[in-house]
A and B are shown apart, each in its own frame.
Chain A
Amino acid sequence: MATTPFDAVVAEHGGRILRVCRAVLGPTADADDAWSETFLAALRAWPDFPDEDRARPGRVEAWLVTIAHRKAIDVTRARARRAVPVAEITEPAPVPEPPGDRADQAWAALRRLPDKQRRAVAYHHLGGLKYAEIAELLGGSVEAARKAASDGVKALRTALAGPDEGARS
């Protein structure tokens, strides 16, 4: 049984999990909700988390990312249920998005990635999951998980390679 105060888990991994939630759901209230639900579920289960796993590097992170994966799906579904269907005719014409700054463009590029690529990138590069763990979460082979992450990163690089490429580095 875990004897580490859960507060220490939040302090150590709170930032990482928030980044994972935001990568998957965007920098939104949904991401905050997914973060809260993740840590509430983890708090509930924490006494049963084996101490020997706690000592192994990466085990707590992987456990939290796995919970965050499920909670992000829950949050998305809950929002879909809440959404009131509106007759198409009343919908205002989409306003073209202003170009925005580089950070906005980056979020937009992330949002445009296919779901599997976005998650693979988030779970591997921000969450620190191994490709085998990602394959378990997303289905498919380990190789497919690796490819999804690398295709995702490639697509992001291409999307962000604009005239101001290099300006920040």
Chain B
Amino acid sequence: MTEIVPEPSGPELAALRDRLAAAAETEHLLDVGYAIVDSPVGRLLLAATDRGLVRVAYQIEDHDRVLEQLAARLGPRILRAPRRLDRAARQLEEYFTGRRTAFDLELDRTLSRGFRGVVHQYLPRIGYGRTATYREVAEQVGRPRAFRAVGTACATNPLPIVVPCHRVVRSDGGPGQYAGGPAAKTALLALEAA
């Protein structure tokens, strides 16, 4: 019996999944749509709600786990919906090829609450190719003694690269912790210094 109806091929199923994502978009059924893109710092997961880009995740964060967290926080109606991420993917590609120094994207800041949110809002003011120390950022957001909390905020930035937490470094010149790992942070700083 099972041999009569063969196992569908990968491309067949991929086409049906694309069609499902398109229909879900049309009916506004998705809590989150995501795409996986290649980059010089590894594969990146890009996720967006109806309001905008909500999450950028490095491979070392474990994309399956990130999707589970998004399901718990934002709702489980999640599908791969690359069209929703077209603009973000294009701007990231421009960034990585040195043709873009600032992002122009709708952002959904739902995952940046409280003091972290304040820090994340401030970060884009550190311009392309420049850096600031954790202490300087703490001063800039009016909490000069909260530099450790600034460190935590940077490490838990839900929108790395786009919200440039990689530009915040230690006072001794070390790169400091980073969700994408120290090598990714160093690579981004090198890219911007070129």
Cα distance A153–B32 in the bound complex, in angstroms: 43
Q: 1/0 per residue A3-29: CB within 8 Å of B?
A: 111111010001100110011000100
Cα distance A22–B8 in the bound complex, in angstroms: 10
* Chain A interfacial residues counted at CB < 8 A: 38
A32 within 8 A of B: yes
State whether B77 touches A109 (Cβ < 8 A).
Answer: no
Cα distance A27–B5 in the bound complex, in angstroms: 8
Which residue of chain A has the shortest Cβ distance to B72 in the bound complex? A3
- A-B CB pair tally, cutoff 8 Å: 95
Give chain A interface residues in 15-68, CB to chain B under 8 Å: 15, 18-19, 22-23, 27, 32, 35-36, 39-40, 43-44, 46-47
* Chain B interfacial residues counted at CB < 8 A: 32
Which residue of chain B has the shortest Cβ distance to A20 in the bound complex? B5
State whether B5 touches A6 (Cβ < 8 A).
Answer: no
**With known contacts A7-B67, A125-B2, A156-B1, A40–B23 Cβ distance under 8 A:** yes
Q: List, in ascending order, chain A residues with CB within 8 A of B116's CB.
A: none
For B3, B4, B17, the residue with the greatest tally of chain A CB atoms inside 10 Å of its CB is B4
Cα distance A57–B19 in the bound complex, in angstroms: 28
B193 within 8 A of A: no
B24 within 8 A of A: yes
**With known contacts A36-B23, A43-B29, A7–B4 Cβ distance under 8 A:** no
Give the distance to chain A from B64, nearest Cβ to Cβ, in Å.
8
Q: 1/0 per residue A115-127: CB within 8 Å of B?
A: 0000001100110
State whether B68 touches A5 (Cβ < 8 A).
Answer: yes
Which residue of chain A has the shortest Cβ distance to B32 in the bound complex? A5
B79 within 8 A of A: yes
A129 within 8 A of B: no
Main secondary structure of the interface of A (DSSP, over half): helix
Cα distance A7–B71 in the bound complex, in angstroms: 10
Give the distance to chain B from A105, nearest Cβ to Cβ, in Å.
9
State whether A5 touches B70 (Cβ < 8 A).
Answer: yes
Give chain B interface residues in 5-39, CB to chain A under 8 Å: 5-8, 12-13, 16-17, 19-20, 23-24, 27, 29, 32, 34
Residues of chain B whose beta carbon lies under 8 Å from any beta carbon of chain A: 1-8, 12-13, 16-17, 19-20, 23-24, 27, 29, 32, 34, 64, 67-68, 70-72, 75-80
Beyond A8-B64, A40-B29, 8 extra complex contacts between A and B, CB < 8 Å: A4-B71, A15-B8, A23-B4, A35-B16, A36-B16, A36-B19, A36-B23, A44-B77
Question: Which 3 A/B pairs are nearest by Cβ-Cβ distance?
Answer: A5-B78, A106-B4, A5-B67
